[in-house]
Amino acid sequence: MPQLKQKANEDFFSKVYELTKCIPYGRISSYGAIARYLGSGKSARMVGWALNASHSNREFIPAHRVVNHNGLLTGKHHFGNSTTMEQLLENEGIIIENDRIINFKEKFWDPGTELK
């Protein structure tokens, strides 16, 4: 059937959702890396914006695996409790200290490199 406006399929939000769901267990990524992979590059804020809307998404989005380029859990406050995000990450082997990921570079997952 003809869907005239199938724009949502290539919408920025949808891409962010897919890519975020593609992040493997125990791995993390950054907003900038995702934005860059999507082609926007400097639109890292849009990634965060999309993840903010991920609450409306039926699928569970592992947004806790997405942090800023510093490995800082900037969005932890959006997981209900402030400790939920780091709890999830630590459960996956991510070491967090003072809201910052210690082994960020070690666990970093770059969609442009790892995925392709």
Partner DNA sequence: ATTCTGACAGCAA
Partner DNA sequence: TTTGCTGCCAGAA
Residues at the contact surface with DNA, assessed by CB under 7 A: 11-13, 30-33, 35, 40, 42-49, 51-52, 54-55, 63-64, 66, 68-70, 74-75, 78-79
Closest by CA to 61, choosing from 36, 85, 97, 35, is 85
Nearer to DNA, 95 or 110 (CB): 110
Instruction: Describe the crossing of helices 12-21 and 44-53 by its angle, rounded to 10 degrees.
Output: 80
Nearer to DNA, 1 or 105 (CB): 105
CB closer to DNA out of 68 and 95: 68
The distance of closest approach from Cβ of residue 116 to DNA in the complex, given in angstroms and rounded to an integer, is 20
Helix (H, G, I), strand (E, B) or coil at 116: coil
3-class DSSP state of 114: helix
Pair of tokens at residue 107: 């666990």
Q: For DNA, which is the closer residue by CB, 79 or 95?
A: 79
In the complex, minimum distance from the CB of residue 109 to DNA, in angstroms, rounded to a whole number: 13
Closest approach, Cβ 76 to DNA, in A, equals 8
**Least distance from C-beta 2 to DNA, angstroms?**
23
Strand partners, 97: 100
In this structure, which amino acid lies at residue 86? E
Q: Is residue 80 within 8 Å of 67, Cβ to Cβ?
A: no
